[in-house]
Copies of this chain bind each other. A is one copy, B any other.
């Protein structure tokens, strides 16, 4: 397609008409739902119509065509903009009836665009700033695919529509800094510069010169009248030729076209009202009823799909004739193959034999050496803690500006941006991203972690330094509530392996998940190998299992995860040797997977004896497993700054304490009721 020619549209139906179709669908749907956000779809209708009508490369008949352009509505509250367009260009699951069911139970048209909920939604948006930061990941993935397969197979743009909120959120800074650094030239952000936020004019809270800001970050930045189609088209054309990511500030009026409310923050988040909508129909000469689009306007919109189909078919011919086809499809299909399981079984057997004692963060790196050797899918990275997270392996050469052949991203000190970029890489396809930070700084990435889980993306968070065991850095760096926070998040597997064997098993499980992200909580400190027996089974797959069984009936059962399993085992050994108390030890590397087991397995594993839970974190959540007679040994408050061993002693997370508690419990359970 020759862009410079395409800029002059010659269709009989004007882009004004096409944009008005969006406006009325948005107004009518929000009115019917009596809930939603008409202001943004109306304000950006003109600019987005130009983008779709003249540039965008998507095929509604093949919504998952890998080389399609990505369109990200970062200002997700304007979801009716997206749904209206998807209806107009002919996504099969977006008939008019869906628009009329906007925001109702069971409809495709959720309040905010939900990935997987309807065709063509590239990512879930709504939490502000996530879209633009996720798009950075998509644009990275596109460049990585292009570096591997060339422009014939990988050559698309990532377009973003962002609002003031997106650009005020901190995550936008992390995203644009990274994008500018990496020179993501095919990332184009259209900013809905309407100078309105919920509280009123944006000058209530910001004086930012966004053009200067983006230029400072290494972007091209242009400002246009967002209601001037020719100006918007020229800006997009220029942005597509730039060697840098591009911002196009589209000066707009929120609620553009509304009879009396245009420009008012009142159009942002509420229905306009029947009267205003009727007056707007009058003003814009739109004589059609609600939820009706005249056939010529519909046809004009469908031309977008026609152009997209042609592009897709041409691309398919290129793919079919490509010598890289097989390799390409393996990546896009995210197939790891059976080799990984074999290699990891061998890895585990080898280290069982050697009883390797390493920190689980180091065990993770050793496992990654195997994984990254077996598959080219994995893309590593860290938020500037590479040497601490141990996320880099021999196979993962860094990605650098202009060089996307590598497999490692220096995300910078940007946990939130890293999480969102990983979401974008996973959404784009072709890669499985993992990225590291300290467990405590999962706080900073919470917004993105939640979206990984909500979207069901195969993203792996490598969270090292997972307790007071990190030692001297003190309470600001010592997580105590973070395991609970992560475990509370639906559809997130939280793994806390106890030794090198469990670490390898948990990594294997993480990579097996197609629609559940994983968080690996890993120790800074060295941990002995605890696994006994020669079983090749991945015992972590059941979430919890009996690591040490008793000889006779259990007097007590100890539940522990990660670095505290060692303490439980030591206590169990001493209880048997010194007191004749039989203590089983249950390692619980993944509560979510244990929860998914049948009740019989869970009961068998937990047993009927009194239980002691041991975890160097807060208690919240443990009562589920401890039962009514149980005890918890862990953290009551924040940590402290001292060497790790001193801290464990100071907070009483020791085999001594476990032994004493077990004696107390056994006394009680045997009826003695000792105090």
Contacts and interface: CB of A to CB of B under 8 A. Distances in A.
A126 B472 contact: no
B76 A382 contact: no
A316 interface: no
A interface: dominant SS:
loop
Copies assembled: 2
Interface stretch (A167-175, A349-357, A549-557): A167-175
Interface string A306-341: 000000000000000000000000000000000000
Given A481-B485, A484-B488, A624-B623, A169 B413 contact: yes
Interface string A449-490: 011011000000000000000011111110011001101111
A387 interface: yes
Contacts of A178: 205-206
Given A386-B198, A620-B620, A641-B112, A650 B105 contact: yes
A489 B482 CA distance: 8
A620 B475 CA distance: 24
A646 interface: yes
A435 interface: no
Interface in A625-648: 627-628, 635-638, 640-643, 646-647
A454 B401 CA distance: 39
A590 to B, nearest CB: 15
A22 to B, nearest CB: 20
A641 B180 contact: no
A289 B624 CA distance: 57
B168 A174 contact: yes
Nearest to A448: B443
Interface residue tally of chain A, by bracket? 35 or more
A106 B474 CA distance: 12
Contacts of A205: 178, 181, 384, 410-414
A397 interface: no
A164 B413 contact: yes
A342 B488 CA distance: 40
B474 A114 contact: yes
A633 B114 CA distance: 26
Nearest to A180: B207
A472 B35 CA distance: 7
A388 B485 contact: no
Given A104-B642, A168-B177, A180-B207, A444 B443 contact: no
Interface string A210-227: 111101111000000000
Interface of A: 33, 35-36, 76, 103-107, 110-112, 114, 124-128, 164-165, 168-174, 177-178, 180-181, 197-199, 204-213, 215-218, 382, 384-388, 398, 400-401, 410-414, 416-417, 440-441, 443-444, 446-447, 450-451, 453-454, 471-477, 480-481, 484-485, 487-491, 618-621, 623-624, 627-628, 635-638, 640-643, 646-647, 650
The 7 tightest CB contacts between A and B, nearest first, are A170-B170, A173-B173, A205-B412, A126-B476, A212-B216, A484-B488, A110-B641
7 contacts: A107-B641, A110-B474, A170-B173, A180-B208, A206-B412, A207-B218, A623-B623
